[in-house]
């Protein structure tokens, strides 16, 4: 007993309609998952049952895909011009890049200020405590000194990362 071709027409019986919907819905979600996996695509599906109950599937996450669709749809409406979608798309991309660049610059400035504050604090707090030769430190002082150096290194690395991201975005925005 193999599969037989089913004629595509609306099912009239409500119980049969619900069973058909449940089976087809699972198959549809499985195919969408395969498509997302094989093509590295972002997939989002919403279906409503015969009883008007919504079912959704999204890969990697339906909420992220829905939010992305909603924001792109809203931006398309506001940017679309008589010359078509491409111009609106490019303007949207430029706006996103500028917004991201401004955000990174603000973060870098905040981190720079934070680093200066930490530096001033380190200089003013217990200046004499760590100004002696390292072989005179106690074990506790060495551990505290090591922890402070690690925090300082982390702050410096964070500043470096922000500066690199900022310069990359600046470079990208200047290419256009």
Q: State the average pLDDT over residues 155-166.
A: 84
Kindly report the pTM of this predicted structure. 0.40
Quick one: what percent of the chain has pLDDT higher than 90?
Answer: 10
Higher pLDDT, 88 or 90: 90
Q: How far apart are CA 69 and CA 75, in angstroms?
A: 10
Alpha-carbon distance values, 1 to 4, 23, 27, 41 (Å): 9, 19, 21, 36
Q: State the average pLDDT over residues 146-151.
A: 87
Q: How far apart are CA 76 and CA 9, in angstroms?
A: 37
Q: How far apart are CA 153 and CA 159, in angstroms?
A: 10
């Amino acid at each position: 007993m193999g599969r037989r071709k089913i004629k595509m027409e609306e099912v009239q019986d409500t119980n049969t309609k619900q069973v058909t919907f449940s089976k087809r819905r699972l198959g549809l979600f499985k195919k969408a998952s395969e498509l997302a996996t094989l093509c590295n695509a972002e997939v989002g599906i919403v279906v409503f049952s015969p009883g008007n109950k919504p079912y959704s599937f999204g890969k990697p996450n339906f909420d992220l895909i829905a939010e992305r669709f909603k924001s792109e749809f809203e931006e398309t409406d506001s940017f679309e011009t008589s010359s078509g979608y491409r111009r609106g798309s490019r303007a949207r991309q430029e706006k996103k890049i500028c917004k991201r660049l401004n955000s990174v610059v603000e973060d870098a400035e905040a981190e720079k200020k934070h680093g200066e504050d930490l530096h001033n604090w380190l200089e003013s707090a217990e200046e004499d405590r760590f100004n002696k030769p390292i072989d005179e430190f106690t074990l506790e002082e060495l551990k505290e000194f090591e922890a402070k150096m690690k925090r300082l290194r982390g702050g410096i690395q964070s500043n470096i990362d922000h500066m690199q991201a900022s310069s990359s975005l600046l470079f990208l925005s200047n290419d256009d």
